[in-house]
Structure 1
Amino acid sequence: MGSKITIIGAGSVGSTIAHILSLKPYVSELVMIDILKDKADGEIMDMAQGTGFRDPISMIAGDYEDAAGSDIVIVTSGVARKPGQTRIELAKTNVAIMKNIAPQVAKHAPNALCIIVANPVDVLTYAFLKYSGMKENQVIGSGTLLDTVRLTYKLSQELGIAQRSIKGYVFGEHGDTSFIPWSMVTVEGIKLDEYTKGARRLGIDANDFDPDEVITYVRKSGGEIIKRKGATFYGVANSVVDVCEALMGAQDLVTVVSSMMHGEYGVDDVCTSCLTVIGPNGVKGKIEATLTDEEVAKFKASAEALKAVIKEMDIE
């Protein structure tokens, strides 16, 4: 028996997540919910007709009642940021949307593990927790997982080495105050500067790079993609599916996602990203890996920026 997953939001992100999951053998039921019911129905019809090459799967466009019994609920609903719109304005609009969604999820799928994807994701993860009343271990924001993948992609291009060999993370807000803890970046366990020296001795073309340019690339990639094609969805969809697989796995996994902080690095009462243990029971807690004093200061500054936005939202 596979898992039942409900996706709220039939836009580009929600539909791409649904399409990837519809091809996974461990998913036996998919429900898509959207205020535009015809859109959700059309997406499901299109995807369902492409599932004839796998074991049978139930796929429906439904309402919140159809989310009952879901193992995972993924929330992608929200409006995209418009030209000239401030982050506060975007947050107010999407927090209002979340205020309607969260109680419905809690009512109809009270035992589900919930992944929040809509932006600003850290603020909306916090809002979902408050408005749903669900347990903290049940609620996970996609956070800086996509940023982390963008980081390792960029470094793979600079170092000329496979992305999977690089371990590095982006911490903090999924946004302009995110940062890279360079003290934690390794290539198969080797510190970055040691790897670069060793690679050059072997004649491997490991480029010099500016760390400031790398974090700018990470922060601005989404905007650059939107400028070129109008939206981003492949990268975030794959990141969310990775979280789903961790939640359905047999063992816990350490990754970077957004969840409630309880004093780690001197930060509390905000949802943000650092190394987090997740698994079949949701969030187990944060791993407080050693950071430099400068990195801790950046983490605190990022958290304070998020708290300032949350304060403006009057979330109770």
Structure 2
Amino acid sequence: MVSSGVRLISNLSKISIIGAGHVGATCAQRIVEKGYADVVLVDIIQGLPQGKALDILESAPILNFNSRLSGTNDYQATANSDVVIITSGIGRKPGMNRTELLLTNRQIITEVTHNVVNYSPNCIIIMVTNPVEAMTHLAIQVSQFPRNRVLGLSGVLDTARLRTFIAAELNVPIAAVSACVLGQHGRNMVVIPRLSTVNGVPITKT
């Protein structure tokens, strides 16, 4: 039984991605290649999302996918999205701490979230912009969405990175590695060694 606030991925028809940088464009590429949904890629830079979308679409005859992908500078094209993935904002520059990053990206995410809610009031928001915990909380406040409709990307990414590093260090297939990372996406994240295993054996015993 699925609650009214949650939708299965198989029922999705439209995903919008805000921010056409490396993360946003790569996300768009993976979604259309997998055939999960049609995608709208949005950015404030004129020509950027349109160019990225065209580059990705030109691979369709080779990779044999049929999902539609468009790039735009107009939020109106995102109307009635099932999911909106927010990747916009600046990355942390050398010497910049997370507080400085928060103050800069807060204004961006506030404006983006208002636009998202205006055109897709029933969507699910996935926050990627850093600092992701703070930006996710901000999006909940601005959107007034229930918490199960605003998600932050954090533990899954950090866990995937840890699995990759363990596999490389021990020279084993990534599929053989399980791991768990909890907490903040940053310096305070917590690795659980006993839950980090290779073929079921904790790395503490290898």
The alignment's TM-score, normalised by the length of structure 1, stands at 0.57
Partner of 2:155: 144
Equivalent position SS for 2:17 = strand
Give identity over the alignment, percent: 35
Name structure 1 gaps, 5 residues minimum: 197-316
Q: CA separation in 1, counterparts of 2:192 and 2:136? A: 23
Shift of the alpha carbon at 1:112? Answer: 1.7
Partner of 1:122: 133
Amino acid of the structure 2 residue aligned with 1:3? S
Deviations 1:33-78 (A, max 9, x none): 1111311111112222222242433222232222222221110000
Q: Does 1:24 align with 2:37?
A: no
Partner of 2:189: 178
> Which structure ranks higher in relative contact order (CA pairs < 8 Å, sequence separation ≥ 6)?
1
Alignment map for 1:66-105 (pairs within 5 Å):
66-105=77-116
Deviations 1:130-173 (A, max 9, x none): 11111111111111322211211222233333222222111111
Q: CA separation in 2, counterparts of 1:41 and 1:2? A: 23
Equivalent position SS for 1:17 = helix
Amino acid of the structure 2 residue aligned with 1:59? L
Deviations 1:194-234 (A, max 9, x none): 4x2xxxxxxxxxxxxxxxxxxxxxxxxxxxxxxxxxxxxxx
Amino acid of the structure 2 residue aligned with 1:182? P
Alignment map for 1:216-231 (pairs within 5 Å):
none
Partner of 1:38: 47
Amino acid of the structure 2 residue aligned with 1:5? I
Shift of the alpha carbon at 1:2? Answer: 6.0
Q: CA separation in 2, counterparts of 1:162 and 1:55? A: 28
Shift of the alpha carbon at 1:86? Answer: 2.5
Partner of 2:66: 56
Equivalent position SS for 1:37 = coil
Deviations 1:256-297 (A, max 9, x none): xxxxxxxxxxxxxxxxxxxxxxxxxxxxxxxxxxxxxxxxxx
Equivalent position SS for 1:174 = coil
Alpha carbons 2:34, 2:65 under 8 Å: kept: no
Aligned residues: 194
Partner of 1:259: none
Q: Does 1:154 align with 2:165?
A: yes
Deviations 1:74-117 (A, max 9, x none): 10000122223232111101011011011211221122221111
Name structure 2 gaps, 5 residues minimum: 1-10
Q: CA separation in 2, counterparts of 1:15 and 1:132? A: 24
Report the CA distance shift for 1:157/1:60 in structure 2 as closer, same or farther (over 3 A). Answer: closer
Report the CA distance shift for 1:137/1:43 in structure 2 as closer, same or farther (over 3 A). Answer: same
RMSD: 1.9
Equivalent position SS for 1:114 = strand
Alignment map for 1:237-276 (pairs within 5 Å):
none
Instruction: Judge which range, 97-106 or 181-190, deviates more.
Output: 181-190
Report the CA distance shift for 1:26/1:83 in structure 2 as closer, same or farther (over 3 A). Answer: closer
Q: CA separation in 1, counterparts of 2:12 and 2:138? A: 30
Given candidates 180, 187, 203, the residue that maps to 2:198 is 187
The alignment's TM-score, normalised by the length of structure 2, stands at 0.85
Q: CA separation in 2, counterparts of 1:190 and 1:48? A: 43
Partner of 1:223: none
